[in-house]
Each structure stands twice: as C-alpha cells, then as structure tokens.
Amino acid sequence: MAAGEEHYDALIVGAGFAGIYSLKTLRDDLGLKCLCIDQAGDVGGTWYWNLYPGAMSDTESYVYRYSWDKDDLATYPWKEHYVKQPEVLGYLRHVVEKYDLRRDMRFETRLVGMEWDGTGWRVRMQGRDGERVVRARYVVMGLGLLSKQNVPDIRGIDGFEGEMAHTGKWPGDLALEGKRVGIIGSGSTGIQVISEIGRKVKTLTCFQRHPQYSVPSGDRKVTTEYRQWVNENYDEIWNTRQRIFQENWDKGNGFRFMFGTFNDISTDAEANEGACEFIRSKIDEIVKDPEKARKLKPHDVYARRPLCDGNASSGQSYFEQFNRPNVDIVDLKETPIDQIEAKGIRTGDGHLHELDVLILATGFDAVEGNYNRMRIHGREGKTLKDAWNDGPTSLFGVHVPDFPNFFMINGPLGAFTNQPPAIEAQVAWIASIIQEAERSSSSPVIEATKEGQEGWSELCEKLAADSLFWKAEDNWIFGANIPGKKRCLRFYFGGMSGFHEELRKCVANHYPGFIPFAQEHATTAKM
C-alpha cells in the first residue's frame, strides 16, 4: 500500500436506498471497514436529487421502505398511501441517523475510475479537496437505475434565456408561480409535474413526445385502521416475497391495471388492446376539449413502465389538467420541435411558444448510464465498457466476469420490480457471498464465469420473450430512449420470488457460475 493511501475492506458508491443498506450490512453485520461515498451533498440518492414539484413514489408507502427494521415498520409515520419526495428523504435520513451511518459516509465525492490490481481495487475519487486514491478489497456500486439524467440534444438548447431545469437535478428554489412554463416529456415524472403545477403556473405547455396510458393513483390519507392492519400483517407481507410483489403492484394503480386485472395484458396483443381501448375511453370522458383529448390518446401498444398519476377525486389527475384553460398540449409527432430559441420553443409549424421556464422531464440514461461515465478496468486492463460492447449484461444484476470483487446493485439484468425489496435481496446476496468466500480464503476472489453470465442472460431473454414491452417505441426499459444506446434487454422479468429462487439454487448447488473463491489470478491493469 502506498504511503498515505486510505485502505478499506469495502468501498460503497452511492448513498441512496442501496448504499445505505450496504453500509449497514457490511459494516455492522460483517464487521468490515467501510467507506460510503456519494457525489451528492447528502444521503437520499433519487430522493436527494429529484426535488421537482409533485415528486413521489408510486409504490404503496408501506412497501416503499426497508423491511429489516421491524420497529421502524410499526412506528415510523406516513400520511398517505403514496410517499412524497420529502417524506422518503426524511425516512432515509432517519435510518442513517438511527444506525450512526453518517460517520462512514463522505459526500461531494465522485468515483471517477478504478483498477483491479490482483487482490483489490485502486479507486480514484474526486472530492472537495481534489483527487485521491483509496484501496478497497470489495467495491459495491449503488449507483441507481435512474440517476444519470438524460438531457435531449435539441438545436439551440443552450441559447434559451429563461430558466431551464432537468427534473432529476431540480434546483430547490425554482419558483414557477405566475410563470409561462413549458415541459418536454410525459413519462412518469412529466405527468407528476404536470398534475402538480397546472393549477399554479400562468400557462403550461406540454410538449408531448408520446401519449401515455396513465391511470390515477387513488392516493388518499392513511387511516388508523389501515395502519393497524398493515402493522398486524407486516411479517406475512415481507416474508412472503411473492405477496410483496403482488400486493405492491396490485395497489400501485398503473401497475395494478397492467398486471393485476387480466395478467396477459403485457403478453397478449388482444388483451392489451382491450386495456388500451378502456383507457382511451376514460380520456374521452375526462378531457372536455376533443382536440386535446385526441392528442392525449395513445394508439400504440400499452407496454411501457405503467404510469400512475395524481388523485382523481381531488381534480388533480393528469388528464384533468387539460381541462384548465392555461394548460395546453403540443403533439411533437405532428409538430416536432424545430429548435429552442432565446425566448422559447419553435415548433415545425413556425410557432414560437414563449416560455419563462423550460422543464426537461426527459428521463434518464437508465441502468448502465452511470457506469459508462467511469473508467473501470478489470483483469488485464479490460474496461467495463469493452465488456458491455454487445450490450450491458451480468450475473444476477450483480457480477460481471473479469471484474472480481465488484458488485453492482441493480446492474443490468437485475429484477424489474419495486426497488427496496430488490435492493435488499441483492445486498443480502452480496453480504452472504462475501462471508462464504472469506471462509475459504483470507483474500478471496468473487467472480462470475462467462458461462454463468451467459446462462443468466439466456434465462432473462427467455422470460422476456413473450413480453409486448419489446414493441413500445423508445422504451427506456430496453435502452431505446437514448440515441446510440444499444437496444437490448436490461431486466430480469421473473419477479422477486423467481429471483430469490435463482439465488437459493446457486447456493444449494455450491455457486455454479463462479470461479472458485480461493483461486488467485495474476493480472496487470492500467488506469
């Protein structure tokens, strides 16, 4: 070790749901010396960055949290059926304080590159006080599925003279009241913003790239009886993994609609069209202006991430916003954006839509986006980018061949489901495989084989083969929302119970798909 170099057993990158739980598990349960870093100014991950108006989880409150603290599950408050951004952030801060995790966290610190040197990782980090190198035997990446913002490459975008903000990096002090606001994007985030600000701004022009099949959330206050029922049933809820998946998605409106009504909606074209027709009829019923309704109605397959919007009973659902005279829609398929100018957006029909504020609800370079920004060199100097030349892949969403002792949480081909249980499953897996490996060697090497990764990849392909999700144009689930990004499968669609079963089988069969843990490999790497 070079003089002055810091040394850790485990470096954890990211301080969201994944990083917080990794630190707690590896430090407090395994007794490892850990450091957790994040480029953000504090903990929270998604919920630190996404401060836009209306930001909320669309997973039911009682399962959008950790399952392992039974006391917290029974006592920590939540007011409504869906938790809003400040509450999720408050909850994560509370967990960090309760378990005294902050003392091993470092903020405003970005991982820029790392290399495997045969026994561990040399990691370059950029912090407040410049660049420094640390060594760690294990590196755990909790970088988040949805954390690298996607800023569209539109002609003239840098010349806009008003205020411009991406929802994934929202300046907390951006005032919208009384302003002429434009928003590009009507995915999950876009519809949350539109539903929240329609009644507050002077005008809201929604530049719609894709019409959406959105279903109101049915959000409402949590009653004492409901909370009591949840508390009394928590053990059952969390212990039965299939039940978590089912209940969570059932209650999650858009998710329920897609997966809980007729469960062939995502695989059978006829059943899918039945659901589409129903939602189109709802749009016609809700939106009074037939021209706006026409633009809002999707006609493609219902096969994107299901969307859930505001509370229909309080007049704040997504489609209801378009009954406000100050809220309008521009269908970019009919009239594409020509360019962004100093005063606003000029569309192909020559019209300049004048704006004070432009909101980019344009989503994320999902899954591997953050990895591609770093220089990660595994065995023989091989980069992660090289390894993913034909599309990002892994074993269990966690391991990549040639990158020993390197663990991703929700890397490519991780489970497509409510995130906290998926994160918990992967952190528990990482902790258990480290424990197992350390039993066989004092400096173990935990590394997937190529065959192990290919086997997982084939299983994921098989599970997704019948899904209509493939048919949706520009779907981020397959990487198709980013120009130049490879269109390929990025998730395991077998549900949480299937995922747990695969992990269980791997342990029972003595870790097929892995190089024996005690094996050493000579290697050289360049940074």
**Positions in 389-418 near ligand FAD (CB under 6 A):** 409-410, 418
- Return the number of the residue (188 or 272) whose C-beta is nearest ligand FAD: 188
CA-CA distance, 224 to 247, in Å (whole number)? 20
Out of 8, 24, 34, 39, the only residue in the binding site for ligand FAD (CB under 6 A) is 39
Quote the least distance from Cβ 415 to ligand FAD, whole Å. Answer: 10
**Which of the ranges 35-43, 67-75, 376-384, 438-446 carries the binding residues for ligand FAD, by CB under 6 A?**
35-43
Written as six digits, the tokens of 405 are 């002792």
Taking the complex as a whole, how short is the minimal distance between the CB of residue 116 and ligand FAD, in angstroms? 17
18 binds ligand FAD (CB under 6 A): yes
Return d(Cα 142, Cα 347) in angstroms, integer: 40
Nearer to ligand FAD by C-beta: 147 or 393? 147
From the CB of 437, what's the least distance to ligand FAD, in Å?
23
The footprint of ligand FAD on residues 356-385 (CB under 6 A) is: 370, 374
- Closest approach, Cβ 519 to ligand FAD, in A, equals 30
Site for ligand FAD (CB under 6 A): how many residues? 36
Q: What is the 3-state secondary structure (H, E, C) of 233-255?
A: HHHHHHHCHHHHHHHHHHHCCHH
506 lies in the site for ligand FAD, by CB under 6 A = no
Q: By C-beta, is 191 or 286 nearer to ligand FAD?
A: 191
d(CA 511, CA 122): 27
Amino acid at 216: P
| Closest to 48 in 3D by CA, of 109, 98, 92 | 92
Shortest Cβ distance from residue 332 to ligand FAD (Å)? 22
Query: Pick from 279, 288, 152: which is nearest to 207 by CA?
Result: 152
User: C-beta of 68: minimal distance to ligand FAD in Å?
Assistant: 15
Using the rule CB under 6 A, give the single segment among 32-40, 215-223, 231-239, 428-436 that binds ligand FAD.
32-40
Give yes or no for residue 96 binding ligand FAD (CB under 6 A): no
Eight-class DSSP state of 397 = T
Query: What is the token pair recorded at 7?
Result: 């040394």
CB of 251 to ligand FAD, least distance (A): 11
Query: Could you give the CA distance from residue 445 to residue 93 in angstroms, rounded to a whole number?
Result: 34
Instruction: Decide whether 166 or 295 has the Cβ nearer to ligand FAD.
Output: 166
Can you read off the two tokens belonging to residue 43? 């903990």
101 binds ligand FAD (CB under 6 A): no
Residue 294, CA distances (Å) to 11, 254, 307, 319 in order: 52, 21, 19, 12
Q: Confirm if 370 and 384 have CB atoms less than 8 A apart.
A: no
Stretch that binds ligand FAD, among 43-51, 237-245, 434-442, 484-492 (CB under 6 A): 43-51
Rounded to whole angstroms, the Cα distance separating 166 from 313 reads 29
355 touches 343 (CB < 8 A): yes
Spell out the residues 6+ positions from residue 470 whose beta carbon is closer than 8 angstroms to its own: 303, 464, 478
Q: What's the min distance (Å) between Cβ of 315 and ligand FAD?
A: 23
d(CA 412, CA 73): 30
Buried/exposed 348-380: b ≥16 CB within 10 Å, e otherwise:
eeeeebebbbbbbbbbbbbbbbbbbebebbbbe
Q: Do 5 and 135 touch, CB atoms closer than 8 A?
A: yes
Q: Output 13 or 327, the one with its CB closest to ligand FAD.
A: 13
Q: Closest distance between ligand FAD and the C-beta of residue 58, in Å?
A: 4
Q: Which is nearer to ligand FAD, 286 or 308 (CB)?
A: 308
Query: Applying CB under 6 A, which of residues 9, 12, 19, 429 lies at the interface with ligand FAD?
Result: 19
What is the footprint of ligand FAD within residues 177-206 (CB under 6 A)? Answer: 189
Residues 311-340, interacting with ligand FAD (CB under 6 A): none
Dihedral sign of CA atoms 170, 173, 177, 178 in order: negative
How many CB atoms are closer than 10 A to CB 253? 25
Please, which of residues 272-311 interact with ligand FAD by CB under 6 A? none
The CA dihedral of 92, 98, 100, 106, to the nearest 10 degrees, is: 10
Q: What residues from 447 to 466 belong to the interface with ligand FAD (CB under 6 A)?
A: none
Nearer to ligand FAD, 136 or 283 (CB): 136
| CA-closest candidate to residue 147, choices 360, 375, 308, 369 | 369
What character string, x for contact with ligand FAD (CB under 6 A) and - otherwise, covers 138-167? ----xxxxxx--------------------
Residues 6+ apart with CB under 8 A from 462: none
- From the list 15-23, 153-161, 296-304, 493-501, the region that binds ligand FAD by CB under 6 A is 15-23
| Among positions 13, 258, 327, 472, the unique one binding ligand FAD when judged by CB under 6 A | 13
**Residue 45, interface with ligand FAD (CB under 6 A)?**
yes
Q: What is the 3-state secondary structure (H, E, C) of 251-303?
A: HCCHHHHHHCCCCCCCCCHHHHHHHHHHHHHHHHHHCCCHHHHHHHCCCCCCC
Residue from 419, 426, 457, 481 binding ligand FAD (CB under 6 A): 419
In the complex, which residues of this chain contact ligand FAD (CB under 6 A)? 13-19, 37-40, 45-46, 48, 50, 55, 57-59, 64, 110-111, 142-147, 189, 370, 374, 409-410, 418-419, 423
